[in-house]
Amino acid sequence: MSWIAGIDVGGTFTDLIALDSASGEVRLAKVPTTPENQAHGVLAALDEAKVAFGELALIVHGTTTTTNALLERKLARTGLITTQGFRDVLELGRRTRPRSYGLKGWFEPLIPRELRLEVPERMDAEGEVVLPLDEPATREAVRRLLAAGCESLVIHFLHSYINPAHEQRALALARESWPNAYVTAGHAVLSEYREYERGVTATVNASVQPILDRYLAQLRSELKRRGFSRDLLVMQGNGGTVSAAIAAENAANTVMSGPASGVIAAAYSATAAGYPNAITYDMGGTSTDVGLIRDGVPEVSSELELEYAMPVHVPMVDVHTIGAGGGSIATIGEDGLLRVGPKSAGAHPGPICYGRGGTEPTITDANLVLGRLNPGALLGVKGAADLEHIRRQILEKVGKPLGLDATQAAAAILRIANDRMSGAMRMVSLARGHDPRDFVLFAFGGAGPLHAAAIARELGIPKLLVPARPGITNALGCVVADLRHDFVNTVNKHVQDIDITYVNYVIQQQISAGRELLEREGMAIEGLRLLHSADMQFQGQTHMLKVALPGAEVTRDALQQLFEKAYWERFAVELPEIRAMLVNVHTAVIGLRPRLDLRVLYDRAAPHAARKHFRDAWFNNAWHPTPIYRRESLPETLTGPAIIEQLDCTTVLEPGNRLAVDKLGNLLIEV
């Protein structure tokens, strides 16, 4: 009973990595994702890996159930009870439009107007009661929403972040008659000011709660039927895990957990390799996720907007999604210039090379034409891609309008794509005050290592790291992630006027709330780690800067100094003239799980497998006979050009790139 399995559900594939802590044995599986019920794919992956259920001690699961439910708006019927006069906050939003230019577009609130009811009550900004809660009206509202067929309920009152008494009372009243546990009070999900953002976050939680709960219940019963009834953990967007038994309570925390687990795995792997500062680059079929790791810790933000006007403001690993992937389509615009993306061929029809009727040239097609991808080994595609057909399409759609032959046109597609991607990546990483030379580029995902050398060169990052198993990074994230619970409370006072004992009291409360959750989960942990930070700003600003705090006890002077230092690093501006504010206090309570020795992932075949062959690949305006290596049989060092293939990933070394394989099986490439 020494096996652990990490299972991540992605858009196309469900990936599994299983490890035996006793023998060090590793098994991998990759099966198609089953969108209608992800549990089928999860079970199929376990079957494919042939791990005996009796031998499994723990399953850690990353699911997109909640993210997909939100994006596809397949949500539980949810009602809202809110402060009199404010039921339309969720519909009116913050006075925005979907795009800067163009006045068309549409927005649908998460809860329709007829299911948003008001009750008399009012708290002011200092937490004083202006109007007491009308309890009979609250009971009546609960009754009406039940009668309207609501399964979930949100209670969202103004200023509940500073005084939750009315929300707590209304919650108690609702629980008297609500037939299930799906009642969410705004302050309990997010104790931060800003009524729209808190209200939407609470609504997101309520409307995916039953969906996640049912999914996990079904998965657990399926697993039980097969003989597994031990621990099941679920990945969260904060990069930590939570016991499946309580995951649905804060269902919003599981949104965007897939990208988060990738970054967690990257932080773990890069730190183990000796590179605690990394920019993660996960390029897939339709999009690219970018994250930033400093001192081994992924950056966390509470400002995610899942889509237009859908803020989910719980702390999450700060992953930025860029709309460029292998399926991004190349077109010639009305100005006669080449564009790549944002339109994507998606999975259907997909790139031309999939042979499913796609006719628009994509990034993947360009990679094939240039010899970077193996036309006979496309994952999920039967048979070999028709290279001649792809060349003709690229010539027709891109080459002729630009006066280029098919090869030059394909090279142009890659150059533009890499240029756009690296620009977008700069905006979310280096342009925020970081020096590229302090980082490695950590490349994974199906297409990340294919483009990483070019991207690193564009960004001025001297070294890139491709982990031993780049195609299952998210599943690895599940296995290495710790248990984690985050707490944020608004303080919003001048640093110099602050009652520092109150701040320290809030931090202590956050710590005990986290410990309590860890106890309820009942997982064996090896220790406790606490991370504290403060969201700060100068008086008058609206943007906040996250400042890491050294411990649970802070002083006013320390807050001031830490903020000034962080501000200087970020903006190169000093402002002694203006007073600093402490807006939010944030604590992450982390239950440490056993460490994993990454050497087990290093797949080294016997030397006789090291025989290489050559394929012509296009670099710097010329064809180069390029050696093709199998990943498991690489020499310890080599110099590009070279192409390294493994089951679900291809790594490209441009001419002159120097590669070394480290003791964990990572590829370290100097560009």
Partner 1 sequence: MLDPITLVVIQNGLQQVCNEMDLAFCRAAFSPVISEGMDRSDGIYAREDGALIAQGELGLPVFVGTMQFSSQAVIERVRKNGWSVDPGDVFIVNDPYLGGTHLMDVRFVKPFFYRGKLWSWLANTGHWPDIGGMVPGGFSASATEVEQEGLRLPPVKLFKKGVMDQEILSIILSNIRIADQRIGDIKAQAAALAVGEKRLTALLDRYGADTVDAAIAELRVRAEQQMRAKIATIPAGTYTGHAIVDSDGVVNEPLHVRVKITKTADDDLLFDLSESSPPCKGPMNSVIATTRSSVYLAIKHIFPDVPINAGTFAPLKITDPEGTFLYARYPRPVSGCAAEVSQRIAEAVFNALTAAIPEDLFAAPAGTSGNLAIGGHDPKRDRSYVMYLFTGGGYGGSSASDGISNGCSTIGISKMPPIEVMEQYYPVLFEEFSLYEGSGGAGESRGGFGVNYTIRVRRGSARASMVMDHGRTGPLGALGGGEGGVNKVAIEQSGKEYRPPHLSKDQDIQLAPGDCIRVSTPGGGGYGDPLRRAPEKIAQDLSRGYYTRDEAARLFGVRFAPDGRPYR
Taking CB under 8 A as the criterion, the residue among 71, 129, 130, 217 binding partner 1 is 130
Contact between 431 and partner 1 by CB under 8 A: the answer reads: yes
Using CA atoms, how far apart are residues 315 and 543, in angstroms rounded to an integer? 16
Contact between 157 and partner 1 by CB under 8 A: the answer reads: no
Contact between 148 and partner 1 by CB under 8 A: the answer reads: no
Using CA atoms, how far apart are residues 178 and 137, in angstroms rounded to an integer? 15
Using CA atoms, how far apart are residues 348 and 356, in angstroms rounded to an integer? 7
In whole angstroms, the minimum distance from the beta carbon of 270 to partner 1 comes to 26
The token pair that represents 105 in the structure block? 């577009």
Taking CB under 8 A as the criterion, the residue among 539, 555, 620, 639 binding partner 1 is 539
Taking CB under 8 A as the criterion, the residue among 339, 515, 612, 658 binding partner 1 is 339
CB 351 within 8 A of CB 365: yes
Helix (H) or strand (E) holding 463: strand 463-466
CB 174 within 8 A of CB 166: no
Using CA atoms, how far apart are residues 27 and 605, in angstroms rounded to an integer? 15
Q: Which is nearer to partner 1, 82 or 280 (CB)?
A: 82
Contact between 147 and partner 1 by CB under 8 A: the answer reads: no
Taking CB under 8 A as the criterion, the residue among 194, 389, 615, 658 binding partner 1 is 194
CB 317 within 8 A of CB 588: no
Q: Which is nearer to partner 1, 95 or 348 (CB)?
A: 95
Q: Is the sign of the CA dihedral 550, 554, 558, 564 positive or negative?
A: positive
In whole angstroms, the minimum distance from the beta carbon of 465 to partner 1 comes to 25
In whole angstroms, the minimum distance from the beta carbon of 256 to partner 1 comes to 22
Beta bridge partners of 231: 58
CB 579 within 8 A of CB 539: yes
Contact between 55 and partner 1 by CB under 8 A: the answer reads: no
Phi, psi (deg, nearest 5) at residue 116:
-115, 110
- The residue range among 136-144, 230-238, 506-514, 570-578 that interacts with partner 1, by the rule CB under 8 A, is 570-578
- The residue range among 97-105, 322-330, 374-382, 383-391 that interacts with partner 1, by the rule CB under 8 A, is 97-105
Contact between 149 and partner 1 by CB under 8 A: the answer reads: no
Using CA atoms, how far apart are residues 417 and 427, in angstroms rounded to an integer? 16
In whole angstroms, the minimum distance from the beta carbon of 114 to partner 1 comes to 5
Count of CB atoms situated within 10 Å of the CB of 624: 18
Taking CB under 8 A as the criterion, the residue among 3, 13, 86, 444 binding partner 1 is 86
Contact between 572 and partner 1 by CB under 8 A: the answer reads: yes
Q: Which is nearer to partner 1, 36 or 335 (CB)?
A: 335
Distances (CA, A) of 609 to 155, 606, 634: 63, 6, 9
Using CA atoms, how far apart are residues 615 and 602, in angstroms rounded to an integer? 26
In whole angstroms, the minimum distance from the beta carbon of 541 to partner 1 comes to 5
In whole angstroms, the minimum distance from the beta carbon of 150 to partner 1 comes to 15
Which of 359, 367, 466 lies closest to 411 in space, CA to CA?
367
The token pair that represents 17 in the structure block? 């990595």
Using CA atoms, how far apart are residues 661 and 656, in angstroms rounded to an integer? 16
Q: Which is nearer to partner 1, 55 or 118 (CB)?
A: 118
Taking CB under 8 A as the criterion, the residue among 11, 35, 112, 346 binding partner 1 is 112
Using CA atoms, how far apart are residues 307 and 312, in angstroms rounded to an integer? 10
Contact between 73 and partner 1 by CB under 8 A: the answer reads: no
Which of 71, 254, 75, 63 lies closest to 152 in space, CA to CA?
75
Q: Which is nearer to partner 1, 156 or 469 (CB)?
A: 156
- The residue range among 121-129, 204-212, 497-505, 619-627 that interacts with partner 1, by the rule CB under 8 A, is 121-129
Q: Which is nearer to partner 1, 94 or 663 (CB)?
A: 94
Taking CB under 8 A as the criterion, the residue among 149, 376, 573, 621 binding partner 1 is 573
Q: Is the sign of the CA dihedral 93, 95, 98, 103 positive or negative?
A: positive
Taking CB under 8 A as the criterion, the residue among 23, 71, 74, 113 binding partner 1 is 113
Helix (H) or strand (E) holding 448: helix 448-459
CA-based diameter of the chain, in Å? 81
Please count the residues of this chain forming the interface with partner 1, following the rule CB under 8 A: 70
Contact between 437 and partner 1 by CB under 8 A: the answer reads: no
Q: Which is nearer to partner 1, 575 or 664 (CB)?
A: 575
- The residue range among 168-176, 240-248, 351-359, 416-424 that interacts with partner 1, by the rule CB under 8 A, is 416-424
Using CA atoms, how far apart are residues 347 and 312, in angstroms rounded to an integer? 27
Distances (CA, A) of 391 to 342, 344, 352, 364, 395: 22, 19, 10, 12, 6
Which residues, including other chains, have CB under 8 Å from residue 403's CB and lie 6 or more apart? none
Using CA atoms, how far apart are residues 417 and 370, in angstroms rounded to an integer? 14
Q: Which is nearer to partner 1, 243 or 541 (CB)?
A: 541
Contact between 491 and partner 1 by CB under 8 A: the answer reads: no
- The residue range among 240-248, 299-307, 417-425, 612-620 that interacts with partner 1, by the rule CB under 8 A, is 417-425
Contact between 611 and partner 1 by CB under 8 A: the answer reads: no
Q: Which is nearer to partner 1, 331 or 374 (CB)?
A: 331
**Which SS3 state, helix, strand or coil, does residue 381 take?**
coil
Taking CB under 8 A as the criterion, the residue among 30, 61, 122, 546 binding partner 1 is 122
Phi, psi (deg, nearest 5) at residue 193:
-75, 170
Q: Which is nearer to partner 1, 264 or 413 (CB)?
A: 413
Q: Which is nearer to partner 1, 39 or 80 (CB)?
A: 80
Which of 219, 236, 275 lies closest to 485 in space, CA to CA?
236
Q: Which residue has the tokens 């809202």?
A: 80
Contact between 462 and partner 1 by CB under 8 A: the answer reads: no
Q: Which is nearer to partner 1, 93 or 449 (CB)?
A: 93
Taking CB under 8 A as the criterion, the residue among 165, 523, 538, 660 binding partner 1 is 538
Distances (CA, A) of 530 to 405, 507, 511, 524, 549: 58, 10, 8, 17, 10
Taking CB under 8 A as the rule, which mask of x and - marks residues 374-413 in contact with partner 1?
----------------------------xx--------x-
Give the number of residues written for the chain.
671
- The residue range among 105-113, 169-177, 370-378, 387-395 that interacts with partner 1, by the rule CB under 8 A, is 105-113
Q: Which residues bind partner 1 (CB under 8 A)?
A: 85-89, 91-107, 112-114, 122, 124-125, 130, 158-159, 161, 193-197, 333-339, 402-403, 412, 415-416, 419-420, 423, 426-427, 431-432, 492, 538-543, 570-573, 575, 577-578
